[in-house]
Amino acid sequence: MNPNIYLPYVSEITDIKQETPDTRTYDVRIKKKDEAKLFVSRPGQFVECSVFGAGEAPFGLTTSPQEPGVMTFTVRACGRVTDALALLKAGDQIGIKGPLGNSFLDKIDSRGKDILVIGGGIGLPPLRSMIDHIFQHRKDYGEFTILYGARTPDLLVYKYELEKWSQRDDLKLLQTVDVGGPGWNGNVGVVTTLFPKLKLDIPNTVVYTCGPPIMIKFVIIELLKLGFPEKQIVSTLERYMKCGVGKCGHCCIGHKYVCTEGPVFDYTEIKGLAEEAF
Amino acid sequence: MPQNKNYSLAKSKVPELLSRLIKKGDEVWGPLAGENGDNFLGRLSSEKDLAGEYVNGYLGAKRYVFPQNEEMFRYRNAKGGIELNQPGEMPRAVIWGLRSCDMSAVNYFDSFFGRGAKSGPDWKSGEPLPDPLYEARRNRAVFITIGCNVAGPKCFCVCTDSGPFLSQGYDIQLADLGDRYFAEVGSPRGEEFVNEFKDLFSPAGNGDQLARRALENQAEKTFQQPVSFFAKAMRRMDQGHLKPEFWQKVADYCIGCGGCIYVCPMCSCFDVDDKALGESEGMRYRSWDTCDFAGFTREVSGHNPRATRADRRKRWFYHKVSMDYLEKNPVIGCVGCGRCVIACPGEVDMPTVIRWMRKTGDQSPKS
């Protein structure tokens, strides 16, 4: 008999980090060894996470672990499942379906090219899986730039990583916030205000972006103005999602399922959709 | 297998056939007589439940292959951690007297949910996998369909290539020849079924096949709903003739009840939720959902990509009759059963909107 695509793997939360007042990062491990070895994720993929009794919700994977059966995702508590998840502690059990969806690696082959990553708020976590991948294969890629913005300094996630990244000499990290605050000496403004500070070899640069729809919309407009080729603009799309496996119909944009045909799309695909993606 | 084996089944034997199936423990589904002349497909507890004369009930085979609420699995907080249990095996199901349109919808479901699903999920095996719930229901069912001698007042299956008789896709297809049914076998499963009830089925009489063909020709002349514009409507949609004003007009007549979607034999969107069954256990289940409701796409932030009724009406018709979806699916998203015509209080059902689409392109060539 075929495996039941709706049946999650029973998994355990192994560690939790508090990122911002309402956002936590969960390290998770699939319990059964035979199931764990089937779980090998690629950057950009996501999981459906079950909190039994509350339901399930999709979360982007935030690392590219070399070991099968382990994963990390970052979740803001803002709905039924995510609120229930926020009450759990290390050692508690959840369900995991995945890895689901496609990968940044399924789009244009960016090896040998310069990389520009543009993240907004809670959109940085899914990009981090690609950032991880690039660090693991750093020699395969050219100049590496990350732009990261959030509404306020409090809402920047992965401050411990940002600190480390800012010290690397093989990466240029620029941060911005919409509204500054005490102790913030960096840029103030939306993420596109960082563009003039960059020297880009545009024909040779691939952009990966993820963030709130309104941010992605304006990022793409600016990138197109700068002359970026459409195939080199790679973005994730997001929709309210239920099953995660291409059946329930919730996440369709036009005739594309975000869950099985995405979540990663390049701009040639996005502009051809019958509904507005952002 | 030899093609098209034909048998004869006396109508007087049908109660015995159904009664033997029920006694044996099979699930028998068929047209049930509801109140005030309403019919719908449901499970028969006795052969006497079967409706008499009917064209088609309000709800078709979807009630069986894709129930309104269906358990996906159960979870239990045990001492060693969480345990998950899948639904168990079920007995054979015999779906009796299904109309051709509803069988065609099941054949579409096969391509979407089950056998040969193209856009299936692949997270467990690396191969596209069928929907296990659908697959289990499909695999335990024998579909015995019946061709329509007379079209219903709202039917238009001749325009969608899904009736009034079928040439394939059924296990057994019956044709009503008065005192008897002419039974065509369309699958090994249908053949097995006939063999199991050899004492009730007899070889088809000479001339019965010709009589069935004559019935089909006659039936095709009885359609009252003229809707043969699907191809043109699809071109209108794909060439961008249908502007926001068009969908606003559809939305103005629509009250957003979702009725068309619930009765549609091809609509298959669902919601997923958990339900507690006690202190430490519960079940995950799915239930019908509709793209007609604002909550279908509303995100937790309050942002809704399909915020207006016009957006949502466009979505439904786009899913059913666009070239984009025809490239994904083997057929368009309508089998011409006419249920949306009966269900829609605003009269913006499929045939009406198809007619509007066709005319719209002619009137407003402006881009």
How many H-runs (helices) and E-runs (strands) does chain A carry? 7, 15
Number of domain units in chain A: 2
Closest residue on chain B to A7 (Cα)? B73
Give the separation between CA B67 and CA B112, rounded to whole angstroms: 16
Q: Are residues A251 and A157 in the same domain?
A: yes
Average pLDDT along chain A, 278 residues, taken 10 residues at a time: 82 96 96 92 95 96 93 96 97 95 94 97 96 96 96 93 95 95 91 94 97 94 96 95 92 92 94 86
What's the confidence (pLDDT) of residue B105?
A: 95
What's the confidence (pLDDT) of residue B52?
A: 74
Largest Cα separation within chain A, whole Å, is 60
What's the confidence (pLDDT) of residue B240?
A: 85
What's the confidence (pLDDT) of residue B120?
A: 45
The domain in which residue A139 lies consists of 104-271
> What's the mean per-residue pLDDT of chain B?
90
User: Mutate which of A2, A10, A48 to disrupt the B interface (most B C-beta within 10 Å)?
Assistant: A2
Q: Are residues A90 and A133 in the same domain?
A: no
A-B CB pairs within 8 A amount to 140
> Tell me: the pLDDT tens digits for B274-288?
999 999 999 999 999
Residue A1 falls inside a structural domain = no
Q: Are residues A245 and A117 in the same domain?
A: yes
Q: Model-level pTM?
A: 0.92
Q: Are residues A110 and A245 in the same domain?
A: yes
Residue A4 falls inside a structural domain = no
Q: Are residues A26 and A70 in the same domain?
A: yes
Q: Are residues A254 and A118 in the same domain?
A: yes
What's the confidence (pLDDT) of residue B17?
A: 97
- Contact residues on chain B for A97, CB-CB shorter than 8 A: 123
Domain boundary among A47, A67, A100: A100
> Tell me: the pLDDT tens digits for B228-262?
789 889 998 888 889 999 999 999 999 999 999 99
ipTM topping 0.90: yes
Q: How far B301 CA sits from the closest chain A CA (Å)?
A: 8
**CATH code at A151?**
3.40.50.80
Q: Are residues A54 and A158 in the same domain?
A: no
User: Mutate which of B139, B236, B284, B311 to disrupt the A interface (most A C-beta within 10 Å)?
Assistant: B284
Neighbours of B24 (CB within 10 A): 12
Give the separation between CA A134 and CA B196, rounded to whole angstroms: 64
Q: Are residues A82 and A159 in the same domain?
A: no
Residue B247: in which H helix or E strand, if any? helix B244-253
Domain boundary among A100, A117, A145: A100
Question: Among all chains, which residue has been given the structure tokens 């495996």?
Answer: A3
Q: Are residues A51 and A120 in the same domain?
A: no
What's the confidence (pLDDT) of residue B128?
A: 64
Residue A278 falls inside a structural domain = no
What's the confidence (pLDDT) of residue B307?
A: 94
Q: Are residues A129 and A93 in the same domain?
A: no
**A248 contacts B272? CB cut-off 8 A:** yes
Domain boundary among A65, A100, A135: A100
Q: Are residues A177 and A237 in the same domain?
A: yes
Angle at Cα B5 formed by Cα B4 and Cα B8, nearest 5°?
125
> Tell me: the pLDDT tens digits for B88-139?
888 999 999 999 999 999 999 998 887 655 444 455 555 667 888 999 999 9
What's the confidence (pLDDT) of residue B36?
A: 77
Q: Are residues A240 and A257 in the same domain?
A: yes
- Contact residues on chain B for A4, CB-CB shorter than 8 A: 72-73, 86, 132
What's the confidence (pLDDT) of residue B119?
A: 45
In one letter, which amino acid is B122? D
**CATH code at A28?**
2.40.30.10
What's the confidence (pLDDT) of residue A2?
A: 55
**A78 contacts B300? CB cut-off 8 A:** yes
Q: How far A46 CA sits from the closest chain B CA (Å)?
A: 11
Region B183-204: mean pLDDT is: 96
